[in-house]
Structure 1
Amino acid sequence: MSRRLALLLAVVLVVSGCAAPTARPTPDADWQWPDDPATDRLGWENGYWYNESIAVDQSDGLNETEREAFVARTMARVEHIRGLEFERSVPVKVISRAEFRESRGGDRDPDADYRAWNNQVWEALLLVGEDTDVSDVFDELYGGAVQGYYSSSEERIVVVSDAETPAIDRTTLAHELVHALQDQQFGLSSDARTQDAQLARQGIVEGDARYVEQLYEERCASGVFECVANAPSDGGAGGALSAPGVFLTIYAPYSEGPTLVDDLRRRGGWDAVDGAYSRSPESTEQLIHPEAYPDETPVDVAVPDRSSAEWSRFSSPESDTVGEASMVAMFWQHGYIERSHLRTKTGNYSAYNYDHPVTAGWGGDRVVPYRHGEGDDADYGYVWATEWDTVADAKKFAAAYRTTLQLYVGGQRVSEGVYRVPDDRPFGDAFRVTREGTRVVIVNAPTVEELDDVHRSG
């Protein structure tokens, strides 16, 4: 999986900020807040109870004192909802947009081999064409839109703003504080190595945070919590994305994770959710279909090397697994899955519907990029092998992929299962799509004649 994608998933790059009170009024003259406890306790943080009123107007931003109080009460509320105790305070740091962009300069991986390998993985998904570096797509996704995030390395929330007294969305603050709580209680590190496994792990991390964020907002809407009004929004960066399917891939943990967390909580309470941190979902299939967690694990798909002497695999990493969510994004970006599908029959607490008949039978996959030559003169190709639950599932996927090649990518049928996309198209290459039982294999090469050089048929 992309080291860059892993980095983007490791910190929450969404709207963030902070807010808090200038005073602590009481409902009437005779009422008093409970005394501060002698020791820390659930639902109380840094001098504030979870149900305590605070006087905050963040229409003109929040100064440091306000920010500290708002963070403290939100920490207490996150504890109250989640049933876990913060072990230490969570500081908030404000940096300028220029500082943020400068810090992101080091995100682009300098390893040319790795970037070439990673481009092939995303090209196999028909999401990023040969004319684009996937790193540029990530820059486009996150560039000027990030308003804040939780940094596990610094153990703090970072707000990106040029204002001296920035405001913060209350649900975003709750979300980022859940990440701090996760970091303190379970740790946010992961040994997941593939794109699909890392997205699956983030399904618990982001799913838990989004779920608590939504429970928090439900309490605000119902009046259970007296909540700070959000400052007016400028609407964010906006604009159409060049590869919207990449966003849909990255967003899968945020959309499908909360439904899995809700399902786990219904099965066994918060203890069941806590247990998922030590036994993370292994695939996005388990996010999209919560009933598949934890027993339905991915098939280990083997791809024997059948290349000629001129073509070779990359050494480290050699292959990747992209998974069900990425496949949904592929078919959606090109229009095989209708745009309206994402908004219909969404799960509990889910933003989108990633469940589609053409991908629901996913059992496992492996993408193996290949190259011929070195540097700027190199040619590239790949083998993408997929396993499906049934023969019918494999037939549906193969048919959908062939249709996508012909109707949406510009491919022309050369012979049975072989297609050629013109070189002036983003995915200008040769493709061979074959199915044998539950296995579908896609081979890509610069020309039809080189398909067997990348992966000999038979």
Structure 2
Amino acid sequence: MNRSFERIALLVGLSVIPTVAGCSDEPSEEERRFARLAARAEQVRELSFRRTVPVSTITRGEFEADQEAAAAAAEEADLAEMAATYGRLGYFAVDADLRATLARSRDWAGAWYSLESEEIVLIGDVDDAVLIHEYVHGLQDQHFDLAPDQDDALTSDAFLARRAVAEGDATLAEGRFVMQERYDADLHLVDWGPLLSSVHARREELLAGSELPLFFMAYPSFAYSFGLEYCAHNLTGVSSESPFIDRLPPFDWSNEDALFTTRAPASTQQILTLDAQDPAVGVGLNEIPSALGERLEQLDWDTLGEWLTYLLLRPLDGTPDLGDARALAAAWDGDRALFVRDRKTEAVGTAWASAWDDAGAAAALESALWQLYGGSPIDGEEPRLGRASDGELLWIERREERVVALKNIDEALMPSLAEAAFPSGIRPMRLTMRTRPSLAARLSRHLPGRHP
């Protein structure tokens, strides 16, 4: 009998303050259900609650109204900066209607655990497995502290990696609950091959069917499918390539605990390769070169990582200049995106430096970037300098396995800024702390708020 999970919920731990359900002297049927499932969550995840996690329910209409209200409340300056930085980098048009995008960016959600209020909110009627998933997020938070301020210190790449562990772990426990409740069995009897194939197929359906810029699908497209496989591999030894457990049950769930503490993953590549990622490569730009400091002001910086690099390149998948976008993204070795403002002109520009497995992969990226920006060289004497289809200046340069792409930077500054991104210009990498959340972390918190 096929023991694959009958459902893998694409749900997310969003951050809101829900309306708390009322209390009475006698527990209602709903409250008894919540208590029973909280106890079952403790059993399948092998952790104990330290305090009660309240649960409330809203309608789909209320959720959609709150999404629209949260998007309407977004600061115009924040939206403009998002468009001027990540939009200019190539994820969406600089003039895209990001307010409307934010209003629809959580349409796929069905429930969430709030890291800020430490409560669960359900959207309409949900089955027991969904509630188990959210209760496990509560257990994770109480034992390993999933506080939003920890997310704020992470790059977009690291944020997705950490959230893949949270979602994968919760989905794994949810699946264990389904196996026990419906089949009186456990994870060692799951038919992992069809299950993992189904989960990854659903991810592709999500991306292919998205009407939103793919950056806004980064969380659901990555955290659930790859997070599940990563956690299942960590606990049982299975993988898509070898869907068979390599250890005897009962499985040791302290191995899952370690993914939140001593073995927390640092990159999406680590998740994608099941810990077989390439060694980390230091990549400029770490900061604005001192010689350019009088002209350029740093707005922000980020690391995209393998998955967000893939989403950037995915619209070019299959084209002659790129070929297989997933295969190219898998050759990623490191990157740094720097967003700057020209103090003289107020123009916002982007600088993206990246390292690749070999010169062939770097050459493929170099060609793809010209296509991504619809760019062409201005003259034959300087092939690195060009103009994008939107009229902005480009500088795209490759040296062996390294590539740097500059957009909307003053032409006189481009050679020096590009030089700083290559090994000859890179100073010893110092620890750089984020002073604001990455875009991936910000989007996870740009959510509706429900107040009593």
Structure 1 length-normalised TM: 0.66
Distance 1:134 1:81, change over 3 A: same
Which of 257, 265, 285 is the aligned partner of 1:302? 285
1:150 corresponding residue in structure 2: 113
How far apart are 1:111 and its partner, in Å? 8.0
Distance 1:308 1:392, change over 3 A: same
**Structure 2 counterpart of 1:173, one-letter code:** L
Deviation per CA, 1:167-203, whole angstroms, max 9, x where unpaired? 1133321211110111122111225321111111111
The percentage of counterpart residues that share the same residue type is 26
Distance (whole Å) between structure 2 residues aligned to residue 79 and residue 70 of structure 1: 14
SS at match of 2:253: helix
Matches within 5 A, 1:63-142: 65-95=28-58, 97-98=61-62, 101-102=65-66, 105=69, 110=75, 112=77, 115-132=79-96, 134=98, 136-142=100-106
1:48 corresponding residue in structure 2: none
**Structure 1 counterpart of 2:252, one-letter code:** G
Structure 2 length-normalised TM: 0.67
2:329 aligned with 1:329, yes or no? no
2:183 aligned with 1:222, yes or no? yes
Distance (whole Å) between structure 2 residues aligned to residue 128 and residue 118 of structure 1: 10
| Relative contact order higher in (CA < 8 Å, ≥ 6 apart) | 2
How far apart are 1:134 and its partner, in Å? 4.4
Distance 1:206 1:175, change over 3 A: same
2:375 corresponding residue in structure 1: 411
Distance 1:84 1:308, change over 3 A: closer
How far apart are 1:89 and its partner, in Å? 2.9
Aligned residues: 354
Which of 236, 252, 270 is the aligned partner of 1:269? 252
SS at match of 2:334: strand
2:381 aligned with 1:382, yes or no? no
SS at match of 1:314: strand
1:251 corresponding residue in structure 2: 221
1:291 corresponding residue in structure 2: 275
1:235 corresponding residue in structure 2: none
How far apart are 1:136 and its partner, in Å? 4.3
2:230 corresponding residue in structure 1: 260
Moved more, 323-332 or 95-104: 95-104
SS at match of 1:179: helix
Distance 1:149 1:186, change over 3 A: same
1:395 corresponding residue in structure 2: 363
Say if 2:15 and 2:116, in contact at 8 Å, map to a contact too: no
Distance (whole Å) between structure 1 residues aligned to residue 13 and residue 68 of structure 2: 14
1:11 corresponding residue in structure 2: 14
Distance (whole Å) between structure 1 residues aligned to residue 51 and residue 144 of structure 2: 14
2:326 aligned with 1:356, yes or no? yes
1:47 corresponding residue in structure 2: none
Say if 1:298 and 1:364, in contact at 8 Å, map to a contact too: yes
Distance (whole Å) between structure 2 residues aligned to residue 298 and residue 169 of structure 1: 45
2:424 corresponding residue in structure 1: none
Say if 1:256 and 1:287, in contact at 8 Å, map to a contact too: yes
**Structure 2 counterpart of 1:324, one-letter code:** E
Which of 157, 179, 182 is the aligned partner of 2:137? 179
Distance (whole Å) between structure 1 residues aligned to residue 13 and residue 63 of structure 2: 19
Say if 1:443 and 1:451, in contact at 8 Å, map to a contact too: no
How far apart are 1:117 and its partner, in Å? 4.2
1:23 corresponding residue in structure 2: none
Deviation per CA, 1:51-79, whole angstroms, max 9, x where unpaired? xxxxxxxxxxxxx8232232233223322
SS at match of 1:185: helix
Say if 1:386 and 1:440, in contact at 8 Å, map to a contact too: yes
2:388 aligned with 1:421, yes or no? yes
Structure 1 gaps, min length 5: 1-7, 19-63, 161-165, 226-237, 343-354
Say if 1:443 and 1:455, in contact at 8 Å, map to a contact too: no
Distance (whole Å) between structure 1 residues aligned to residue 333 and residue 118 of structure 2: 37
Distance (whole Å) between structure 1 residues aligned to residue 271 and residue 162 of structure 2: 9
SS at match of 2:28: helix
**Structure 1 counterpart of 2:378, one-letter code:** V
Distance (whole Å) between structure 2 residues aligned to residue 115 and residue 373 of structure 1: 21
Distance (whole Å) between structure 2 residues aligned to residue 300 and residue 421 of structure 1: 25
Structure 2 gaps, min length 5: 1-10, 22-26, 187-207, 238-250, 420-452
Deviation per CA, 1:340-361, whole angstroms, max 9, x where unpaired? x99xxxxxxxxxxxx9220112
How far apart are 1:413 and its partner, in Å? 4.1
Say if 1:359 and 1:397, in contact at 8 Å, map to a contact too: no
**Structure 1 counterpart of 2:351, one-letter code:** V
Say if 1:90 and 1:180, in contact at 8 Å, map to a contact too: yes
Greater gyration radius: 1
**Structure 2 counterpart of 1:11, one-letter code:** L
